[in-house]
Amino acid sequence: MDAVDRPARLAVGVVGAGRVGSALGAALARAGHRVVAASGVSDSSRERAVERLRVTPTRPEDVVAKSDLILITVPDDVLPDLVSGLAGTGAELRGKLVAHTSGAYGLAVLNPATKAGALPLALHPVMTFTGKDDDLRRLTGISYGVTAPDLLRPVAEALVIEMEGEPVWIADADRPLYHAALAGAANHMVTLVAESSELLEKIGVEHPGRMLGPLLGAALENVLRLGIAGLTGPVVRGDAGTVRKHVDALILAAPEAADAYVALARLTADRALAAGLLKPEAAERLLDALGGNIWT
């Protein structure tokens, strides 16, 4: 097989058949590739190898031996040592595609495998995975942050397209900032919504999700369509008195949330000011209400 020319009909192995690995392996199988091996540390990962990928769990080095394409889908903190360990076992990597799915790492983390002759790829699916049956359905149409050597770029993009995704090229040096942007949006949103739900429950709102759903859906639609121009609320209106009441209420009800509110209000005011949505005099009033300098 000349992997540089065409990635079709590969024998696929998954190292770390967890939520991500089992979903991507299943997507590649749906595209016509053959999942031939998978490994997993946890009981749930080994179960997914059997249920989703239809293979019996085995050792990572056995996965490498059987595969043309090795998907390494393990947590970020585990990835460097795992790659080094696989290369150190003397497993035959020459001419094989080795792809990790970390958003934070680029190609350097695969250097031990690359030195052993592997063909490195970074394919990060921009999606959250729950381990539920709808993970595979959610893959359709999502973006993937793709990083690869120039010669392998067509292969990387072809694999993403075969999984019904959209390849988006990310320069190797930009991977940390790329991942920070995604994590800041998705992960912190979950924290903020969970915090807001708990605050509403504290004051007797029985179904906070019903209250928040339409509001958050509209806010997300606005920002994706309009950017910062879609901002609404007391900060962009310059309602310093309202913002101060928010801070005071949070200090009493959830002090840990008050600090986050102040930090985000400052960032919101800073962006609104820069976009011309907030007048300087209104920004000064907000500065007093927030107790700090929004320009620092």
**Residues β-bridged to residue 125:** 144
Question: Rounded distance, CA 83 to CA 100, Å?
Answer: 10
Q: Are residues 164 and 62 in the same domain?
A: yes
Residue 1's pLDDT is 40
Which residue, 144, 170, 196, sits at the end of a domain? Answer: 170
DSSP 228: G
* Same domain flag for 120 and 230: no
Strand order in the sheet with 11-15: 34-39, 11-15, 69-72, 97-100, 119-125, 143-147, 166-169
**In a domain? residue 4:** no
pLDDT at position 294, please? 42
Are 149 and 200 in a shared domain? no
Do residues 186 and 143 both lie within one domain?
no
Tell me whether residue 147 is in a domain: yes
pLDDT score recorded for residue 8 = 58
Based on the number of CB atoms within 10 Å of its own CB, is 164 exposed (0-12), middle (13-18) or buried (19 or more)? middle
Domain assignment present for 295: no
Same structural domain for residues 162 and 212? no
The torsion region of residue 148 among left (phi > 0), alpha (psi -120 to 50) and beta comes to beta
Q: Return the CATH number at 109.
A: 3.40.50.720
Residue 134's pLDDT is 87
On whether the CB atoms of residues 105 and 124 are closer than 8 A, the answer is: no
Structural domain harbouring 72:
11-170
291: left (phi over 0), alpha (psi -120 to 50) or beta: left
Does residue 2 fall inside a structural domain?
no
Domain co-membership, 84 together with 231? no
Check residue 250 and give its pLDDT: 95
163 and 196 belong to one structural domain: no
Q: Are residues 211 and 192 in the same domain?
A: yes
- Residue with token string 């600090």: 259
Residues 148 and 204 in one domain: no
- What is the total count of domains within the chain? 2
Are 156 and 248 in a shared domain?
no
Answer whether 149's CB lies under 8 Å from 3's CB.
Answer: no
Is the domain of 63 the same as that of 208?
A: no
Both 162 and 183 in one domain: the answer is no
DSSP-assigned states of every residue in 77-114: TTHHHHHHHHHHTT---TT-EEEE--SS--SGGGHHHH
Residue 35 zone, left/alpha/beta (φ > 0; ψ -120 to 50; rest): beta
Asked whether residue 296 is assigned to any structural domain, the reply reads no
**pLDDT tens by residue, the chain, 296 residues:** 444 444 558 999 999 999 999 999 999 999 999 999 999 999 999 999 999 999 999 999 999 999 999 999 999 999 999 999 999 988 899 999 999 999 999 999 999 999 999 999 999 999 999 888 889 999 999 999 999 999 999 999 999 999 999 999 999 999 999 999 999 999 999 999 999 999 999 999 999 999 999 999 999 999 999 999 999 999 999 999 999 999 999 999 999 999 999 999 999 999 999 999 999 999 999 989 998 544 43
Single out the residue in 135, 150, 170 at which a domain terminates: 170
Tokens read off for 135 = 């993970």
